[in-house]
Structure formats: structure tokens, C-alpha cells
Amino acid sequence: MLAVALLTTVVGLTHAQEAGFRVLVDTDAAVDDLRALCLLLATPQFEILAITTSDGALAPKQGAGKTCALLESLKRESIPVAAGPDLLTTPPPWRSFAQRVTWGDSETVVEYSNRTSATELMVDQLRCAEKPIVVVCLGPLTNLADAVRTAPDIESKIEKILWYNDELHPPSGTNYGHDPEAADFLLETGVPMDVISNVGRDAWTFDEAFLSLIESIDTPCAQRIAVAHRDPEVLERIRTGHLRLWDELLPVHLSHPELFRMEKLTVTPHLRISRSFDGVAVKEEIIRMLGGHAHDENVLFLEFPDDPDLFTEDLRPHVRDIIRRHGHEEWRLCVLTTEFHQHLGIYSIVGAKMGLRARDILGAGMDELEVVSYAGTGPPLSCLNDGLQVSTGSSLGHGAISIADDPETRPEAAFKYSGGVLRLRLKPEHWDQIRDDIAQGIDEHGLNTPAYFDFIRQLGIRYWLEWGREDIFLVERVD
């Protein structure tokens, strides 16, 4: 019955994904944009299709470089980035401060070199979208306005625009002031727009106590914010009360609109602006999101368990390290895989990592891939298939996974998505290590004995902890 219940949970994850959001993000690379992007990247509920940069806190190419550094540090380089045009003849006085903020580990060597323009990237992503998507704008509306002017047909692909700005009637604020012509154009299109601001509340500061809470969260996105805000110049601005909750309000509003009181403008009913919000609840939700938790990601759990005390004695010491190294989503999928598989196996863990890595690269949600496995039907290699099903939602019940009719079984799978095919195969050195270790276990403990399965379990925990999904697979695109 436990296996049936867990399979129901796994299948239910596909419905949870449908409740999430596909988003395009435009940023001018201010320090609050860093916080907003980290929130979006930390939360499985959000699928970021692309990021464009506009002229504001930083020049667009500078912002693109910062963004690429952030994505590289978080191992999310598959998200495309493009820069918009330079507009501001006089940079804002806080540009030197924005330049100082560290977004990634290797900012000095990550250079933005994409020749695709922000307009082209937005148009391509919107035209290819099967369902309308949300455009999250953290700066001026230059790039989105250019995209809509270039391709008016994409208006129907925009579910809504979510924009940070101070006021709408009459429009005013920094983001409006950097490109009022673009803002006026979009405000008149009729595309639904929610405008979020901190409604002038000095009480909702980004203070040192809040930073300390973020520092206590052992996830890559939380630590990226912590490192950036412990820079002496940034910290000085925190201590003087300069930093507020600004752009990070947008991901919270998207996830939990009930925390915000929105006012619909009478003369333009497609426009709404925030008039108040529950600041305490918003801060609590930011902490939850940075921890990798989202209300919509589970079917039965309010929060997926990650307390080490809830797990077996041999796994308990490694829970925090696994989550810190590989993220909460991989943790959740490997736990579900193991319970469904009914023992902690090596290939099932590899399969879970493989399926999630394919989704990372393709930008795909649950139940959006067709999977062909080359692992055959004979254990232990075929155990890979259970991990693939759980991590992609491409289950036998959905008819979205099949076993290749190939006599050469191997730890490999093909993932079909949006007309292309991505192949992932476990690197030879890792496969050799698994086979050598299994042979050692059989030699020492016999096959299918309790001691053998305990030996395999300990190997599975070790590989789960030590093997990063970004490092262990050969990747081939077949478009």
C-alpha cells in the first residue's frame, strides 16, 4: 500500500507542476533584482524560460554579465540570457554601487557574449509558448515594449505582466522614469498587468536580522544572497536602513497573491496596483522559498520533510549536505524514488539525477517529456527506469516512457521535448565505478543477501551525496 500511495504522490506531482508558472524575466540588475532572481530560481514552482536585461541600475551588457555569473554559480547556465539596448545617457547615481555587488563566484571571467537581442529572445520564447506565460519585469519596460511592437501577435501569449513600480495614476517611479515611452505603450495595450510596490512602507526594510535568517538557510540561492549582502558597502546600506523589500515582492506576489491587496483602476480594468501587503507573512514566505519549499509542489505534504531526525540513522548525517549540494528538488525526487523503488539503489538514484538534469537543460516541467530508456528490463541496470519516471513524471501510467528495443543495455536515456531530442548517458568512469563496486559487494557478501543490499545502500547514499548531476552525464542534443 505504501508503494501505491507514493506512486499516487509521484503522479500527482504532474498536477502540481500545472499549478506553477512559466516566466520570462527582465532585469536591470540592481541588488534587489538579485534577490528576486534567487527567489525565482530557488522555487520549483517557477520555470524561468529566459532572462533579458534592460538599462537601469546597470547597463544591459553589464547586467547580462552579472546574470550569467549568477546562473553559472547556481548551475543553471541552460537558461538563455540576452541584453537589451543602451538608453540612459546619464547613469543613475547608484550604478557604481550596483557594479560592486557580487552575483556569482567567477564574475571576473564570465562574459556576456550572446548576439541574440533581448527583443529577439522574448519574441522567440513567446511565439513558441504553448500556453500564455507571465513576464516578470524588475526594471524599465524597454525590452517587452520593443518585443510587442516588433511582433504584435505575441500579446496573446502573455498571461500577464508583473512589474515593480511605485505608482500608476499618474505613473511615476524609477522604473517608469527610465523609459516612460515604453511603459505608456504597454499600459495602453490591454495586456493584464499587476504593478507591485512596497507602498512606501519604511517598516519593510531589508535589515540585518532578516539577512541573518537568510544566512541560516543552507541552500545555494540563499547563500548567494548572503554573500552579496555581506559585502561591506552593501552591509553599510543595510545598517543605515537604505535597503527595502522591493523587487523580491514580485515572486512572492506571483506565488501568494492573497498576501497583497490589489486595487483595480476604474478607467483601465486590465491594470492593478498593490495598495498594501502583509509584510510579516511576505518575509516568512521569502524564507520558505529560499529554502526550496513551495506550497504547490506537493500533493499531500504541506512541506516536504527535510528534518534529519525523520530519516534513518545511516542517512541522517547526510541530509543537510545532500540538500545543500544538490538542492531541495533533487532531494525530494530521490526520496520519492527510493520509497517507490523500495530500497536505496544505485541506479535508481542515478536515474532520478538523470531525469532532473534533463529537465534542467531543457527547461521542462514535470510530465512534459517523452522518455526512451536504454537501461533494459533487467536489474540492477533497469532500476534506472524508476528514477527516470519519478524525476520526470513520464511514468508508465502516463504512457510517456518506453524501453528501447536495443540489445546493448546501458545507463542512457533520450528525452523528447519541443521537437528536439536530448540524450544523457552516465559517463564511462562512473559506470565502471558502479560495476566494480557491485562486483566487490557480490564477492564479499554474495548476491541478494541482506549484507549485499546493505552494502549497496551505503554506496547509494555515497553516490547520492558525492555525485553532482551536472558532472556525471555525457550530454548530446539531437535536434
- In a domain, residue 319? The reply is no
Residue 290 counted as domain residue? yes
CATH of the domain at 463: 3.30.1330.130
As a whole number of angstroms, the distance between CA 53 and CA 64 comes to 6
For residues 288 and 338, membership in a common domain is answered with no
Nearest to 250 by CA among 174, 196, 199: 196
Mean pLDDT of 293-307: 69
Say yes or no: 394 and 256 in one domain: no
Q: For residue 308, tell me if it sits in a domain.
A: no
Amino acid at 195: V
Q: What is the pLDDT of residues 153-186, one digit of tens each?
A: 999 999 999 999 988 878 888 999 999 999 999 9
* Res 291: pLDDT: 83
pLDDT of residue 78: 83
For residues 215, 219, 222 and 223, what is the CA-based torsion angle, rounded to 10 degrees?
60
* 99 residue type, one letter: Q
Least confident of 334-338, 350-354, 396-400: 396-400
Residues 76 and 120 in one domain: yes
Mean pLDDT over all residues of the chain?
A: 88
Q: Please indicate, yes or no, whether residues 289 and 387 belong to a single structural domain of this protein.
A: no
> 463: which 3 cell numbers?
553516490
Among 249, 278, 297, the domain-final residue is 297
Report if residue 280 sits inside a domain.
Answer: yes
Partnered with residue 263 across adjacent β-strands are 273
Please state the domain count of the chain.
2
> Same domain, yes or no, for 280 and 344?
no
Predicted structure pTM score:
0.73
Planar angle of CA 90, 92, 95, nearest 5 degrees: 115
Question: How far apart are alpha carbons 392 and 444 in whole angstroms?
Answer: 35
- pLDDT bin (cut points 50, 70, 90) of residue 9 is very low
Residue-wise pLDDT tens digits, 83-135: 999 997 889 999 999 999 999 987 655 566 677 899 999 999 999 888 899 99
Q: Domain check: are 284 and 372 in the same one? A: no
Domain final residue pick, 251, 277, 297: 297
Q: Is the pLDDT of residue 334 over 60?
A: yes
Higher pLDDT, 23 or 367: 23
Cis peptide before 60 (omega within 30 of 0): no
Q: Cβ distance 53 to 60 under 8 Å?
A: yes
Cβ–Cβ < 8 Å for 348, 309: no
Q: Summarize the confidence of residues 452-477 as an average pLDDT.
A: 94
424 and 332 both lie in a single domain: yes
Domain boundary among the residues 297, 317, 346 is at 297
Task: Give dist(CA 283, CA 198) in Å, integer.
Answer: 13
Give percent of the chain above pLDDT 70.
92
Q: In this predicted model, what pLDDT tens digit does every residue of 245-299 receive, in sequence order?
A: 999 999 999 999 999 999 887 777 789 999 988 888 999 999 989 986 544 456 7
Cα–Cα distances in angstroms (integers) from residue 237 to residues 280, 308, 333, 345, in the given order: 21, 37, 40, 50
- Count other Cβ atoms within 10 Å, centred on residue 466: 13
The answer to whether residues 293 and 335 belong to one domain is no
CATH of the domain at 93: 3.90.245.10
The reply to whether 464 falls in a domain is: yes
- If asked whether residues 230 and 288 sit together in one domain, one would say yes
Same domain as 461, residue 384: yes
pLDDT for position 107: 65
Give yes or no: residues 292 and 377 share one domain: no
Average confidence (pLDDT) over 469-476: 93
Flag whether pLDDT at 200 surpasses 80. no
Q: Which residue has the higher pLDDT, 323 or 466?
A: 466
Q: Is the pLDDT at 224 greater than 90, yes or no? A: yes
pLDDT at res. 112: 67
Mean pLDDT on 342-364: 91
Q: Summarize the confidence of residues 11-27 as an average pLDDT.
A: 64
**16 within some domain:** no
Q: Which domain holds residue 385?
A: 327-478
Mean pLDDT, range 302-306, rounded to an integer: 81
How far is Cα 31 from Cα 28, in angstroms, rounded to an integer? Answer: 9
Assigned domain for 310 exists: no
Q: What is the 3-state secondary structure (H, E, C) of the chain?
A: CHHHHHHHHHHHHHHHHHCCEEEEEEECCCHHHHHHHHHHHHCCCEEEEEEEECCCCCCHHHHHHHHHHHHHHCCCCCCCEEECCCCCCCCCCCHHHHHHCCCCCCCCCCCCCCCCCHHHHHHHHHHHCCCCEEEEECCCCHHHHHHHHHCHHHHHHEEEEEEECCEECCEECHHHHHCHHHHHHHHCCCCCEEEECCCCCCCCECCHHHHHHHHCCCCHHHHHHHHHHCCHHHHHHHHCCCCECCCCHHHHHHHCHHHEEEEECCCCCCEEEEEEECHHHHHHHHHHHHCCCCHHHCCCCCCCCCCHHHCCCCCHHHHHHHHHHHCHHHHHHHHHHHHHHCCCCHHHHHHHHHHHHHHHHHCCCCCCCEEEECCCCCCCHHHHHHHHHHHHCCCCCCCCEEECCCCCCCCEEEEEECCEEEEEEECHHHHHHHHHHHHHHHHHHCCCCHHHHHHHHHHHHHHHHHCCCCCCEEEEEEC
pLDDT at 479: 66
In whole angstroms, give the CA distance from residue 265 to residue 141: 20
- Residue 6 pLDDT exceeds 60: no
- 138 shares its domain with 236: yes
Structure confidence at residue 15 as a pLDDT band (50, 70, 90): very low
Residue 55 has pLDDT above 90, yes or no: yes
- 12 — pLDDT class (breaks 50, 70, 90): very low
The span from the CA of 360 to the CA of 363, in Å, is 5
Residue 244: which of 311, 188, 199 has the closest Cα?
Answer: 199
Handedness of CA 172, 173, 177, 181 (dihedral sign): negative
Residue 5 has pLDDT above 50, yes or no: no
Residue 18: predicted pLDDT: 42
Beta pairing class for 260-264 and 193-196: unpaired
Residue 1 lies in a domain: no
